[in-house]
Amino acid sequence: MLKEKLKSYIDAKVPIIYVNTYDDNEVEEEVLEVTGRRKVWEWNQMYGLMNRKEIEKKEVFYVHETINGDYTLEQCLKLGVIEKEFYRKVIMIKDIASYLENPEIVALFKNACLQIETGELDTVFVFISSILKVPKELEKYITVLQEEYLTEEEIKKEILDFIQENSIGNVYDKTLEQMSLAFKGLSILEIDTILSLAFSQEGELNDSALRLVMEQKKQMIQKAGILEMVSCEEEMKDIGGLESLKRWIGNKAQVLKHMKEAESFGVELPKGVLIAGIPGCGKSLNAKASAKLMGVPLLKLDMGRVMGKYVGESESNMRRAIALAEAISPCVLWVDELEKAFAGIGGNGGGAEVTTRLFGQFLTWMQEKKSAVFVVATANDIMKLPPELMRKGRFDEIFYVQLPRAEERKKIFEIHIKKRRPQDLEKIDFTRLVDKTEGYSGADIEGVVKEGIENAFINGKSEVSTQDILKAIESTHSLKEIMGESISKMEKEYKNRKFKNAS
């Protein structure tokens, strides 16, 4: 697909094709394959300007007597454009991003583009970089090509080729299936690197290689910088209360786990859920436990990282994040602090305009989404959320999480004491703890349990008693005491908007 687009853009003489990718080599090969009779020159930081076809023959040969490795990009542009050395050539430029901050270089490119437009210069520039920076001055001359992700079938073929090339013996079908799924969202280069690493460490491709694959994949997604792959140890049983929300997620998990059967039965793929509510009451916990229950990776979208400073950078980052999530699907995409992500929508000024556009992009994607990306969006302050987000068709359901009621507090105490001091559980008087913690959040409760245990240890006790935890409660303030007014305001708002109670 990328190759076809590259070919059609080069044939159409687009002045600058900006390929936003991590896989330089793959793109280079594709450029060389589609350029036809045009010569391909490459400029990179290390060698300066080179004739690309000659490099293929492993003879580093500089195209012109005077063109040698010392040439800077600036010098090359002057030589190529002013002296017309770039005529009828495709000029590949790698690691371009930082150079596009230099006004002189931008001006030289602009001059070249103007000449290309008038037909004075017959050149196509191909920028290859993992970072997308489109200077305003070059915006109208640049066509951006995003990296495309491999399908499961293509990945499987890649693994089978690797197996054959390395004469690896038996690989179980199940391992092959799991690997193809685990590699979703990675480029050919990344897949090959991980396979080589797994093979050199394990000597075969087995279940332990699969663990290495997951670990490496996590790192690669991390490096891409927009999505974070979060490990989730938390399970639904680690969440005290919120029964209605947990039941609802459980049902959606059933559908996602049996996607093919569900779809052929006429069930629609779930889009996702918005969980709103005051801090520390289990929203993030639910995002993590959902992924665990569904048995899929949890990807966290960090809006801070999506926002870029160049024209179109934020939108492109958002597109990449969505494309990566779709490529990795089935997965849970967790958008934390949604209200912060889209703060300033509808406002004036460049920043607000970008946010509004990003928000529109996100909404359209949610509305039209057909992939198995289950979105869990969490928000503290729904009053700051744009109403469009709450319309039907975006999320399947919107839940609000309140401060835990008495029976929920009991469960939260049980969970946190059992996690740390299971041997003391029987002797604890939960009724007293529950009575003294009206207005405490789940995080508050976890806090007093931790403090009670620590105090018992410092005081040289051999076990933790109700009294130790009660003391910790006395020395803290509940969330309701701290932010009482805004909590009641928010609860009123949830009820007005007819959100579902998570409890």
Residues that bind ligand ATP (CB under 6 A): 239-242, 279-285, 378, 380, 412, 415, 442-443, 446
> In the bound complex, what is the minimum distance in angstroms from residue 304's beta carbon to ligand ATP?
15
> Could you tell me the smallest distance in angstroms from the CB atom of residue 493 to ligand ATP?
16
Quick one: 270 or 282, whose CB is closer to ligand ATP? 282
Choose between 23 and 381: whose C-beta lies nearer to ligand ATP: 381
Cβ at position 331, least distance to ligand ATP in Å: 19
Taking the complex as a whole, the smallest distance from the CB of residue 378 to ligand ATP amounts, in Å, to: 6
Ramachandran angles phi, psi of 126, nearest 5°: -120, 110
Q: Which is nearer to ligand ATP, 135 or 241 (CB)?
A: 241
Choice between 126 and 338, CB closer to ligand ATP: 338
Please say which residue, 12 or 425, places its beta carbon nearer to ligand ATP. 425
Cα–Cα distance for residue pair 286/242, rounded to 1 Å: 9
> Strand locations in 319-432, DSSP E?
331-335, 373-379, 397-401
| Residue 138 vs 332, nearer CB to ligand ATP | 332
Sheet hosting strand 500-501, strand order edge to edge: 227-230, 298-301, 331-335, 373-379, 272-277, 397-401, 500-501
Give the pairing of strands 500-501 and 397-401. Answer: parallel
| Closer CB to ligand ATP, 79 or 483, in the complex | 483
Closest by CA to 84, choosing from 57, 64, 105, is: 64
3-state SS assignment for residue 316: helix
CB 238 to ligand ATP: min, Å: 6
Is residue 322 within 8 Å of 417, Cβ to Cβ? no
Nearer to ligand ATP, 281 or 296 (CB): 281
Cis peptide before 279 (omega within 30 of 0): no
CB of 379 to ligand ATP, least distance (A): 8
* Dist. CA 81–CA 86, nearest whole Å: 6
Question: Which residues, in sequence order, are CB contacts of 96 under 8 Å at separation 6+?
Answer: 18, 127, 128, 129, 133
Interior angle at CA 288, CA 287 and CA 292, nearest 5: 120
- Cα(205)–Cα(227) distance, integer angstroms: 27
CB of 482 to ligand ATP, least distance (A): 13
Task: Report residue 59 as tokens.
Answer: 């003879």
Q: Please, what is the minimum distance in Å from the beta carbon of residue 279 to ligand ATP?
A: 3
Q: Is 277 left (phi over 0), alpha (psi -120 to 50) or beta?
A: left
